[in-house]
Structure 1
Amino acid sequence: MDARLEPLFTPWKIGNCEIKNRIVLTSMGGTNLLGWMEKNHFDEDGARFIMEVARNHAGLVLPGCQPVYNPMFGQWLYKNKKMYEDLKNWMPEFHKTGAKLFVQLTAGFGRSFTISELMEKLYTNKFLRVVSKPFMNLDKITASASPSPNRWSDKVPSREMTVEEIHEFVDAFAKCAKLLQDAGVDGVEIHAVHEGYLLDQFTLKYVNHRTDEYGGSFENRYRFAVETVQAIKKVCGKEFPVSLRYSVRSMTKGFREGALPGETFTEAGRDMEESQKAAKYLQEAGYDMLNCDNGTYDAWYWAHPPIYMPENCNLQDVEHIRKYVDIPVVCAGRMEPRTAADSIAAGKIDGAGFARQFLADQAWVTKMMEGREEDIRPCILCHNGCFNMCHYKGVPNDQELSDSLHLARCAVNAEVMQWNKHYIKKADSSKKVHIIGGGLGGMEAARVLKMRGHEPVIYEKGSVLGGTFIPASAESYKDKLRSLLVWYRRQMETMGIEVHLNEEIKDTAQFGSDPIIVATGAVPRILKKVPGHERMIEACEYLNGAEVGEVVAVIGGGLTGCEIAYELALKGKKPVIVEMKDDLISQKGVCLANSSYLREWFALHQVPVYLETTLKEVKEDAVICRAKDGKDVEIACDSVISSAGYISAPLTEIGRNAYLVGDCLQVGNLRSVIWSAYEAAMKI
């Protein structure tokens, strides 16, 4: 192990609870021990994930947050006693790993509760609102500190919670904590004065306009959080550790409007001055640790950093707040292990929080300790498998129900939290399997086939493995994607997979009856009906190095087009985005944390965006577009990049023994490529 990493592997204490090292798995929805958005029970899948992380040398493990009042079916978490017995029976095996377990409890989401179109219908229809109450009482689960707009929908506003409801939640926290303590859990974490969840909404002046004992003054706004820890300590004893998930700064300009890194703005929520006071006040109330980052749901990219956010984006603020408390402080948010180790060694933080990297590779800490970092499958911060809650103009959370109910899956790791669906089963007999296409789909299929005992052979028409993922990972800020590409190429090498480069396969007849996997990807959609289309540079051509001028019109404001425009601006170019729809990145699968960053970045940096605008003609020094009002608009530019989407490109002649995977089957995203490749390899 690199000596610089050694501070990560020193012991520390939270109260009297000793933790063997400074690696903290922070909570992720979907990795719950007691169920998530379903009837509460001891969750075998969540337990399997938590155990695997603990066995791979995490020091402190926090499963997914548990609402003390379940939004689905209206259950109070303390009422199902059997699941606590199941947890108690499981805890001795967990403790054999040497890790400690804190269970995170939350009062819920309030105005941040994720609303879908179905929920809008349930709420706006009086009859449906009544009949749906037993399984989803939206009036109760979206209630907030004060009447306020929901983060996702204008149709489901939040009402003000009553004092009686607040007391009911405080009592529920205490009852749940006691049951967890009796089950052998090492501590609890309260979620949260963090991320704009319900408890945080009480602390934030732009949400809380109450005039009773839970609003107005600083002490009143933090009263809910204070009463919660006091109630827990009363029933569990002062020695039982209680951590607090804590946003140092809200980084929020107001409802549905965040503040970007480096932006000058007026803080609507908690600024650093208040945070300094609040951190000390919360410590005095009884909290034993602060588990920190920044942001709210209105500035979601701070709590769930996409790849556009800087590494260690919250570290400076967390190091600062550490000066104001005497309890341990953990920092999370795109943490880089060596930087975290340096901060710990300097006494600036006490622990380093990591989350989604554990989904990509549960053994990454073990590999880091063993000096095998090149074997770590990297998280690429896409949120596409774990948290693809997407939102755009006029549409609430646009997400498949399966995704909504089953979080904590991973785009680059098809197995995690899907072990009953994706798993390695040894083949009955070894077969030679020909794989046409050496992109990520082809390599994932080859990897799984090899693990199952088959003999995969890859045929790639290019000179290197990677396919369209090479341009897809080309932008300057996509280092994590390039790391994934390196990881896949290394897998091909270390597993001894036969690879033929510069060999294009047009006819599969030569392979006889051998099984075949076709992973030939997609081809760009060419706007041939647009006069002058030949003057445009296709998106992949630009990403592969084609030169562009100073002012660049990007035709297509989906994710690819917006990422290209972002890269152009970072390089000092002047992009102009032209999009047919009424919002940028108006597509499923792109998490709001990712899309809102780009939309707000373009607004802050005054990148011209033409919505509901259609390309009509490409000239030498301009594009002619048709605006929503039917009038033509001429946009001067030096170059034009076409990002109009892609069309599946399977081979024209394939036999019955062939399986199509990835974009040649159906144009999707990285998740659909990897998961479909895994599934095809399972069938052979």
Structure 2
Amino acid sequence: MNKYKKLFEPVKIGKCEIKNRFALAPMGPLGLADSEGGFNQRGIDYYTERAKGGTGLIITGVTFVDNEVEEHGMPNCPCPTHNPVQFVRTAREMTERIHAYNAKVFLQMSGGFGRVTIPTNLGEFPPVAPSPIQHRWLDKTCREITIDEIKSIVKKFGDGAYTAKRAGFDGVQIHAVHEGYLIDQFAISLFNHRTDEYGGSLENRLRFAREIVEEIKNRCGEDFPVALRYSPKSFIKDLRDGALPGEEFVEKGRDLEEGIEAAKLLVSYGYDSLDTDVGSYDSWWWSHPPMYQEKGLYRPYAKLMKDTVDVTIICAGRMDDPDMALEAIENGTCDMISLGRPLLADPDYVNKLRSNNSKSIRPCISCQEGCMGRIQHYSMLNCAVNPQACKEKDNALLPILKKKKVLIIGGGVAGCEAARVLALRGHEPVVYEKSDRLGGNLIPGGAPEFKEDDIALANWYAHILEQLNVEVNLNSEVTKEQILNSAADSIIIATGSTPKVFSLGDDNKVFTAADVLAGKKDCGNTTVIIGGGLVGCETALDLAKKGKKVIIVEALNKILALNGPLCSANSEMLERLIPYNGIEVRTNSKVKSYKDGILEVETENRIDKIQCDSVILSVGYKEEDSLYKELEFEVPEIHLLGDARKVANIMYAIWDAYEVANHI
């Protein structure tokens, strides 16, 4: 018997019945639109694949209804009002394919970004807002939007929803009285200083949101569902300054008292569902939670909404643990579980859970390198651990002409991904790993409690390769001669990287971060970490949480200056967690020597002496490509992958391995 059966009971949003309790959370559909604001083939395939994977409700990423008040630089995202004929033509194909899998689909529609428009998406267009307030990212003051412009946007919501209904969408979701987007900026007094009918009282500040749902219901009928993305709490300490979990602060955004009152009003206006989260662009790590946030962090706020209003409550936010999801449905925390990044990582999540195959679900690692980071910097949505996400047809597995035996030297993430892809295509991969387990740098990297999903990814690869009957040889270091005598058709060298080290004098107490994280070395009670990059900061955070006194010494003028996380939610939260956890940081500083428990550190005009039990080196990694160089001119078909080719991150190790293994 499947213990998760309750997650597969139907649920309604308004009068729309959904076959199970799972929704695809809306994520920015960058790269999924055509030049006329319709869905391109990538978008159609991407959403259809999640429906095929068993998800009951597909909620698209944001689409803009307005391109005049706030120009978005078409074709940035789909837009139902730009060219309605093209939108219906492309979206209808998508909704028909989604419906074939007995799934429902809602179009998420936005009133605009206002002061939080990401600069790469803004172009040269001036940002707007309810009032002349500071932009989130740029040192600019936003232009105050006029009443005529508000009325224009409201009408376009009606136009867009009507077009969506024609295109076969089962409902719409409004984006949003959440995260500090334009409609939310109207709702929050910190941003809304207006004295007209759209400012002042809570009812006035919610007037924009009210007029939107009334317009849609008027145009599409009372039975056409209108959901709302909603944040009952903002976690704003000040402009561009968010609160950390557990931190005491005065809420300057929407507090829970107003969040409860606003929810009651919004439901009374006609919204059929609240898709609940918390946070804002000023506290982005709440809205887009990195691995440093606990799993299921929105559950208390979803429960509060469930106890406050009588509509369908959807809860997202690192809800990928099926036991947690089941408990949330059983105890009345929410009515639906919304999965965003987990469905990027594995579109078949829901079907795997339904068929008692949860061990095969590829885990999301909350790195945000492939999703939010790439949206923020490159205007495209992808996934670090799933190279096929948003590229379903372009990165489809290729048929093979002739079965090949492929030796893979190295069982880190690149070697494992290559073996997986080769086996799925019908080749015969053979993996040799010199350590006693698969995973490579995932193992020390995943040692901190907040990096548990790195270990889950290593375990997933081990499980999948076993399922695919891939020969894996552990504790096996391979020589050039063995490879040349193997009669293999192709060779992949994925021997990874090694930590950079240097002598400080008393090296008996100088360790690498990898050895400390893996528990091979005891750093004592007081330690200094040399290097304030991602590994150094995460090591410091892990040790501080274990009660150690930690100092970071960084040669540059700030931590995370090199190789920091791509997504601001990850980098900004980690940067704030360092001082919050009592970790001292010394920048523009270089270590000189370590002797008799004293570390000498040179700053601009002096030398400091720091007493410590150990020194931890976290100054980067160097490629381990010596075996490749030995074989480079001896083997006709040879590939160098992962950190052995170029030290990077998990995403590029997986992506490069997929690309190469799919073309052997």
Query: In the alignment, which residue of structure 2 is the partner of 1:583?
Result: 558
Contact 1:389 1:589 in 2 (8 A): no
User: Structure 2: 5+ residue runs without aligned partners?
Assistant: none
Q: Does 1:670 align with 2:643?
A: no
Where 2:657 maps in the other structure, the secondary structure is helix
Q: Which residue of 2 aligns with 1:606?
A: 582
CA–CA distance in structure 1, aligned partners of residues 259 and 525 of structure 2: 43
Report the Cα distance in structure 2 between the residues aligned to 1:173 and 1:635, rounded to whole angstroms: 62
Matches within 5 A, 1:147-162: 147-154=132-139, 156-162=140-146
CA–CA distance in 2 between the matches of 1:265 and 1:55? 45
Aligned letter for 2:108? Answer: Q
Match of 2:497 in 1: 522
Give the Cα separation in 2 of the matches to 1:421 and 1:595.
31
1:102 is matched with which residue?
A: 106
Q: CA–CA distance in 2 between the matches of 1:503 and 1:171? A: 67
Map 1:456-605 → 2, pairs under 5 A: 456-507=429-480, 508-511=483-486, 514-528=489-503, 530-532=504-506, 535-545=509-519, 546-586=521-561, 587=563, 589-605=565-581
Query: How far does residue 363 in structure 1 lie from its aligned partner after superposition?
Result: 0.7
Letter in 1 for 2:443: I
SS for the counterpart of 1:477 is helix
What secondary structure does 1:388 align onto? helix
Structure 1 position 326 matched with structure 2 position 326? no
CA contact (8 A) 2:565 2:571 kept: no
Partner SS state of residue 65, structure 1 = strand
Pick closer, same or farther for the CA change 1:617–1:207 going to 2, 3 Å: farther
Q: Distance in 2 between matches of 1:286 and 1:443?
A: 50
Q: Does 1:16 align with 2:15?
A: yes
1:78 to 76, 81, 98: 81
- Could you tell me how far apart the structure 1 residues matched to 2:476 and 2:73 are? 57
Moved more, 611-620 or 16-25: 611-620
Whether 2:392 is the aligned partner of 1:419: answer yes
Contact 1:426–1:451, Cα closer than 8 Å, also in 2: no
Give the SS at the match of 2:353: helix
- Aligned equivalents of 2:338 and 2:621: distance in 1? 38
Show structure 1 runs of 5+ residues with no match.
Answer: 120-135, 391-396
**Which of 115, 123, 136 is the matching residue for 2:119?**
115
Deviation at 1:460, TM superposition (A): 1.5
* 411-420 or 287-296: bigger deviation: 411-420
Among the aligned pairs, what percent are the same residue?
40
- The equivalent of 1:138 in structure 2 is 125
1:298 is aligned to 2:298:
no
Structure 2 contact 443–454 (Cα < 8 Å) conserved: no
Residues 616 and 147 of structure 1, relative CA distance in 2, 3 Å threshold: farther
Partner residue, 2:630: 653
Contact 2:39 2:90 in 1 (8 A): yes
8 A contact 1:146–1:210 mirrored in 2: yes
RMSD (Å) for aligned C-alpha atoms: 2.1
Contact 2:545–2:581 (CA<8 Å) still a contact in 1? no
- Following superposition, the deviation at residue 148 of structure 1 comes to 2.7
- What letter is aligned with 1:485? A
Farther off after superposition, 68-77 or 237-246: 68-77
Distance 1:551 1:168 in 2: 61
Q: Which amino acid aligns with 2:243?
A: A
Output the amino acid matched with 1:349. C
State the secondary structure of the residue aligned to 2:608.
Answer: strand
* Deviation at residue 571 of structure 1 after TM alignment: 0.9
SS at match of 2:541: helix
Instruction: For residue 34 of structure 1, report the CA deviation from its aligned partner.
Output: 4.8
8 A contact 2:165–2:220 mirrored in 1: yes
Give a deviation string over 1:572-620, Cα, whole Å, max 9, x none.
Answer: 1121112222332223653111112212222323321122322232233
Query: Aligned residue for 1:125?
Result: none
Amino acid at match of 1:483: A
Q: CA separation in 1, counterparts of 2:141 and 2:612?
A: 44
| Deviation per residue, 1:143-176 (Å, 9 max, x gap) | 112223332232x442222222222211111110
Deviates more, 1:169-178 or 1:446-455: 446-455
Amino acid paired to 1:12 = V
Distance 1:557 1:451 in 2: 40
The letter for the 1-side match of 2:16 is: C
Show CA shifts across 1:436-469 (max 9, x none): 1111111111111122222111122222222222
- Determine if contact 1:462/1:503 at 8 Å carries over to the other structure: yes
How many residues align structurally?
647
Q: After superposition, where does 1:293-442 map in structure 2 within 5 Å?
A: 293-335=277-319, 336-388=321-373, 399=377, 404-407=378-381, 409-442=382-415
Shift of 1:512: 5.9
CA separation of 1:666 and 1:420: change in aligned 2, threshold 3 A: farther
Range that drifts further, 83-92 or 664-673: 83-92
Distance 1:113 1:633, change over 3 A: farther
1:188 aligned counterpart, secondary structure: strand
Query: In the alignment, which residue of structure 1 is the partner of 2:150?
Result: 166
CA distance in 1, matches of 2:323, 2:331: 12
Task: Determine the C-alpha separation between the residues in 2 that align with 1:146 and 1:388.
Answer: 29
Matched position secondary structure for 2:616: strand
- 1:58-82 residue CA offsets vs partner (Å, 9 max, x unmatched): 1211011112235443686413122
Q: What is the TM-score normalised by the length of structure 1?
A: 0.90
CA distance in 1, matches of 2:396, 2:590: 45
Q: 2:225 is matched with which residue: 205, 225, 241?
A: 241
> 1:551, 1:150 → 2: CA distance?
42
Structure 2: how far apart are the matches of 1:343 and 1:505? Answer: 49
Residues 1:282 and 2:255 are matched in the alignment: no
Distance 1:472 1:49 in 2: 30
CA distance in 2, matches of 1:441, 1:32: 26
TM-score (norm 2): 0.93
Name the CA shift for 1:39/1:630 in 2 (closer, same or farther; >3 Å). Answer: farther
1:679 to 650, 659, 663: 659
In structure 2, relative to structure 1, the CA distance for the partners of 1:672 and 1:90 (3 Å cut) is closer
Matched residues in 2 for 1:90 and 1:503: separation? 49
Letter in 2 for 1:646: Y
The answer to whether the 8 A contact 1:533-1:617 is kept is: no
- The reply on whether 1:57 has 2:54 as its aligned counterpart is yes
SS at match of 1:7: helix
Range moving further from structure 2, 517-526 or 572-581: 572-581
CA apart distance, 1:217? 2.0
Q: 1:622/1:207 Cα in 2 relative to 1: closer, same or farther (>3 Å)?
A: farther
Please give the alpha-carbon distance, in whole angstroms, between the structure 1 residues aligned to 2:326 and 2:148. Answer: 45
* Contact residue 39 and residue 72 of structure 1 kept, 8 A: no
Contact 2:408 2:430 in 1 (8 A): yes
Aligned residue type for 1:551? T
Looking at structure 2, the residues matched to 634 and 334 of structure 1 have their Cα atoms a distance apart, in angstroms, of: 43
From 235, 240, 243, give the equivalent of 1:259.
243
What residue in structure 2 maps to residue 133 of structure 1?
none
Deviation string 1:124-145 (CA, Å, 9 cap, x unpaired) is xxxxxxxxxxxx4420xx2112
- Which 10-residue stretch deviates more, 630-639 or 358-367? 630-639
Q: Is the contact between residue 130 and residue 185 of structure 2 (CA under 8 Å) also seen in structure 1?
A: yes
Separation in 1, partners of 2:294, 2:497: 31
| Structure 1 residues 32 and 223: CA distance shift in structure 2, 3 A | farther
> CA separation of 1:348/1:460 partners in 2, compared to 1, >3 Å: closer, same or farther?
closer
Distance of 1:610 and 1:145 partners within structure 2: 41
Alignment match, 1:124: none
Could you say if the C-alpha distance between residues 375 and 638 of structure 1 is closer, same or farther in structure 2, counting changes exceeding 3 Å?
Answer: same
Q: Secondary structure at the match of 1:623?
A: strand
Q: How far apart are the structure 1 equivalents of 2:657 and 2:648? A: 13
**Displacement, 1:288?**
0.9
Match of 1:653, as an amino acid?
E
